[in-house]
């Protein structure tokens, strides 16, 4: 029997997981956990590049973990854990720092962008973010990494570091490939349909959280930016309506053309109402499960501990190999 390929992915616990995360990423994860050996982390170390309020950050991270489970990620099928609970992530990052050039790190587009946004806090973690990401991936000998457009450059750096190390010390790391999902729509902001829906968007009306109440979802869809022309159609010059059609299609499984035909002349109010109700029904079981899990912190922590223990067993093997190859005295 062929060995399953390993998939690694993580999300920073900032803001709330959105409908965009659910449709664009997590829906694919649910399929992948049956096909691959998957590790899904709460990337809490990455989130420290921005100043966090400790008590709020801790609470948000645990809520994220509950949301992972509520969306259907199964700790019996996959490894679910907090990045910070596996110290090998930070240990391997230091080693990989010594095989990463300053020019490579400073050329990263996200470093340039985030440096402009956080002029009062351009810290080394911000520059070193891609090396920590490389350690995340390489630690588990990951074959595949689901990446969005904003992370492709980081994956290329991960591949470069892995190949550089392998060429110097003999094959040590699997050189990962990007995982291109078979399906998964790009969900855009409700306030700016030319931009991706982001869990860190400061405008609460721009995003739909997977744990929003039905009333919040309905109201956000009603306020979604559209255009002055009353006909429902999917086209480049109607980004707002096209985004709502994409959402409608994703949560119902119906084709965009079929939905556009059905609502073409019914007006935006009726169309938005239908989209809102469909999203509410899609997220209703997720929200209910999230509320159930959130009330059982002991269970959440037991799942997190088990996941971290499983992750550490794999991580330790890789780190021991790396330490031996670079010449460190065995522990």
DSSP state of 187: P
167-198 burial, b at 16+ Cβ within 10 Å, e below that, comes to eebeebbbebeebeeeebbebbbbbbbeebbb
Q: Is 186 a catalytic residue?
A: no
CA distance 72 to 74: 6
Q: Is 196 a catalytic residue?
A: yes
List of long-range contacts for 256-260, beta carbons under 8 Å, 24+ apart: 260/232, 260/233, 260/234
Q: Is 325 a catalytic residue?
A: no
* Candidates 114, 186, 266, 317; catalytic one: 114
* Candidates 77, 186, 196, 266; catalytic one: 196
CA distance 94 to 115: 22
Backbone angles phi, psi at 79, to 5 degrees: -100, 115
CA distance 278 to 247: 9
* Candidates 199, 220, 238, 282; catalytic one: 199
DSSP state of 205: G
Partners of 145 in the β-ladder = 178
DSSP E strands in 26-95: the ranges are 37-42, 79-82
- Known catalytic residues are 114, 196, 199
């Amino acid at each position: 029997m062929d060995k399953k390929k390993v998939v690694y992915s993580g999300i920073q616990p900032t803001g709330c997981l959105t409908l965009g995360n659910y449709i664009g990423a997590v829906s694919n994860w649910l399929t992948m956990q049956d096909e691959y050996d998957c590790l899904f982390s709460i990337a809490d170390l990455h989130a420290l590049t921005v100043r966090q309020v400790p008590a709020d950050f801790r609470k948000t991270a645990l809520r994220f973990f509950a949301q992972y489970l509520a969306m259907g990620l199964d700790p019996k099928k996959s490894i679910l854990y907090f990045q910070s609970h596996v110290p090998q992530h930070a240990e391997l990052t230091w080693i990989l720092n010594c095989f990463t050039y300053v020019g490579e790190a400073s050329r990263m587009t996200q470093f340039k962008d985030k440096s402009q946004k956080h002029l009062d806090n351009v810290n080394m973690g911000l520059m070193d973010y891609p090396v920590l990401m490389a350690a995340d991936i390489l630690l588990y000998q990951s074959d595949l990494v689901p990446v969005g457009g904003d992370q492709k450059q980081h994956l290329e750096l991960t591949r470069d570091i892995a190949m550089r190390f392998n060429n110097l010390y003999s094959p040590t790391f699997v050189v990962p490939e990007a995982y291109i999902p078979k399906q998964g729509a790009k969900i855009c902001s409700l306030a700016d349909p030319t931009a991706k829906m982001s869990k860190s968007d400061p405008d609460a009306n721009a995003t739909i959280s997977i744990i929003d109440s039905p009333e919040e979802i309905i109201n956000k869809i009603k306020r979604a930016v559209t255009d002055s022309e009353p006909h429902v159609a999917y086209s480049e010059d109607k980004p707002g309506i096209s985004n709502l059609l994409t959402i409608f299609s994703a949560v119902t499984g119906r084709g965009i053309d079929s939905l556009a035909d059905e609502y073409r002349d019914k007006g935006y109010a009726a169309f938005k109402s239908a989209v809102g109700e469909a999203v509410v029904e899609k997220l209703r079981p997720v929200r209910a499960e999230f509320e159930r899990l959130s009330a059982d912190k002991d269970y959440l922590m037991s799942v997190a501990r088990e996941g971290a223990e499983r992750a550490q067993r794999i991580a330790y093997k890789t780190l021991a190999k790396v330490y031996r190859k670079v010449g460190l005295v065995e522990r």
